[in-house]
Amino acid sequence: MTVPERSWVEISLSAIAENYRAVANLVGPDVVIAPVVKADAYRHGAIEAGRVLEAEGAQWFAVSNTSEGLALREGGIQARILVMADFPEASALGFTPVVHSLEAIGRVARGAPYHLKLDTGMGRLGTRASRHEIVAAVAAHPPEGLMTHFATSADYIGSQTAEQIAAFEETLAALRKAGIEPRYVHCSSTIPIAYGRREAWHNMVRPGMAIYGYVSPARGDAPPRQLRVRPALTWRAAILDTKDVPKGARIGYGGGFITPRAMRIGILSTGYADGLPHHWRAPGRVIAAGQWAPILGAVSMDLTTVDLTAAAHSKPGDFVTIIGRDGDLIQDAQQLARDAGTISYSLLCGIHPRVRRVYVP
């Protein structure tokens, strides 16, 4: 592999494939898997990830809008595409739209498949109509799928997820009583899959972060986690310069960090324009030559300063690891996000396209 010059991510296609297989093995052959590849597959590359997942047997992909669906088609993806948020033109483009209101059903061409989303308590997209209104509205053009989305699926302290499941089941039962049987019924993203909330799986699931190697920790008295996956993305950056600074030196904009002792520092060729959180501070750190290298001062637009004292032999042209493994040390997106006061979803989706993607087996 030719090492890029400044900041790059290495994406393991085999990890993505293994993660898909882990989901498939857990949910079993009777449950359809629709990997979520919106936001360019959480910045892992929707086309590249999609090709791997389709080769593994994925027959559906979930995206946010029609532009994402078109990109998959242009990349050669043949699987069905569920457009979850941007309804207009989805059917005309050959995609399956998610309809969020009863009024919108009339805008789907007669005979064209659609999935109806229920707002069972998330308070975002989805109809809040009564089950009787829903049965009447879909009678002439039944939905191919019925779905909802959970607001607090990692929370095993409160009752919101159980309440959402109950509300969903009431509408599903009403449809079935009226002789309307959606072919696909789906509620579950990564968390309900990983923690075995089987009553919410039905016959389709929509894993997102699990495909890329992450499962958020549950809160409360959660059952044991049943899904094991590994991160597919490693993020590295080159060291542009190194220098020795004395005790009392000010580092970064605003002079926000003052060295407590003489230090060997390194200036990295990455910053918040690349996707590093601007407010990343101590205890934030990267890995340099198998040693922790703490962040010093404010993250700049294109540059970040770190303490290389523990890896003093590092030199310009060497690299540090922002996310991934170096030697015996590992830092994943969840740990970095905690240190930066954000979430792993935002961190991964925030990696800028100018950060070169390198695909590895």
The residue type of 288 is: A
Q: Residue 2 has what pLDDT?
A: 47
What DSSP string runs through 251-306?
A: ESGGG-EE-SS-EEEEEES--TTTT--TT--TT-EEEETTEEEEEES---SS-EEE
Ranges in the chain annotated CATH 2.40.37.10: 233-360
The residue type of 115 is: H
Cα 343 to chain centroid distance, Å, stands at: 10
Q: Domain spanning 233-360: which CATH class is it, in words? A: mainly beta
Distances (CA, A) of 92 to 30, 96, 112, 159: 30, 9, 9, 40
Q: Residue 1 has what pLDDT?
A: 41
Ranges in the chain annotated CATH 3.20.20.10: 31-213
Q: Residue 283 has what pLDDT?
A: 87
- The residue annotated as part of the active site, out of 177, 243, 253, 315, is 253
253 is catalytic: yes
- The residue annotated as part of the active site, out of 20, 38, 114, 184, is 38
Distance separating alpha carbons of residues 332 and 249, to the nearest angstrom: 31
pLDDT in tens, the chain (361 residues): 444 579 999 999 999 999 999 999 999 999 999 999 999 999 999 999 999 999 999 999 999 999 999 999 999 999 999 999 977 789 999 999 999 999 999 999 889 999 999 999 999 999 999 999 999 999 999 999 999 999 999 999 999 999 999 999 999 999 999 999 999 999 999 999 999 999 999 999 999 999 999 999 999 999 999 999 999 999 999 999 999 999 999 999 999 899 999 999 999 999 999 999 998 988 899 999 999 999 999 999 999 999 999 999 999 999 999 999 999 999 999 999 999 999 999 999 999 999 999 999 9
345 is catalytic: no
Pick the CATH number of 31-213 from 3.90.650.10, 3.40.50.800, 3.20.20.10, 3.50.50.60: 3.20.20.10
